[in-house]
Chains A and B, each alone.
Chain A
């Protein structure tokens, strides 16, 4: 089945530093990937839709300059949390569906737990 790889799985950083999270589709091409944020015991909140070769589409209330998304190839999207602060600590998870063919479900990465000290 389709696999989405997300790295790192866990990162701890100091306040003010930037953190990059990678999301790769390993065996399929994905022109669109999605980035979600999840607080403990809460649902997944869609942050942005990542589009290969073009700008990401951000959901209302999500800071574009804080959460930089780059979808440089058909198999890789990155989320960079810039100048991270403790309130950015959260579980971030990416997802994708194959571009070709019709696939119902969304394939998820394993998530990244970000802790900002």
Chain B
């Protein structure tokens, strides 16, 4: 079974509007972390936001927020006030456990295009 599922291969959003990128995960572990990374065309992986499984409040980092619904096992990324520079691939990821040797599992990604 897939650990991380991203069902939106591509998304379009108008500049300055908000957009939600979907992510669902599958784990039986109690301790895990959920992450979103941005990958522009240059290939680098840019960390955006993190949510721990025990965190009760949704994580926020500037224009990024993570809508964490534990019971539904979803961790959607919300980008507010989209900018042209937000156009990129976005990957949802999960780490089971909290140690440096725990593997990260990545979803298939969502290609976001921001229209002027």
Q: Which residues of A contact B (CB under 8 A)?
A: 30-32, 34, 41-44, 46, 49, 51, 91, 93, 95-99, 102-108, 110-111, 113
Contact = CB atoms under 8 A, between A and B. Distances in A.
A34 B33 contact: no
Given A43-B91, A108-B45, A99 B100 contact: yes
B85 interface: no
Contact of A43 (B47, B95, B100, B107): B107
Given A51-B101, A97-B100, 5 more contacts: A31-B100, A34-B104, A49-B103, A108-B44, A111-B45
Contacts of A108: 37, 44-45
A79 to B, nearest CB: 16
Interface residues of B, number: 24
Contact of A95 (B104, B105, B111): B104
Nearest to B48: A105
B98 A102 contact: yes
Interface string B97-116: 01011011111110100000
Contacts of A49: 101, 103
B95 to A, nearest CB: 8
A92 to B, nearest CB: 10
Interface in B67-116: 91, 93, 95, 98, 100-101, 103-109, 111
B101 A46 contact: no
B43 interface: yes
A106 B35 contact: yes
User: Which among B98, B100, B111 has the highest number of chain A CB atoms within 10 Å?
Assistant: B100
Contacts of B33: 104
Contacts of A91: 43
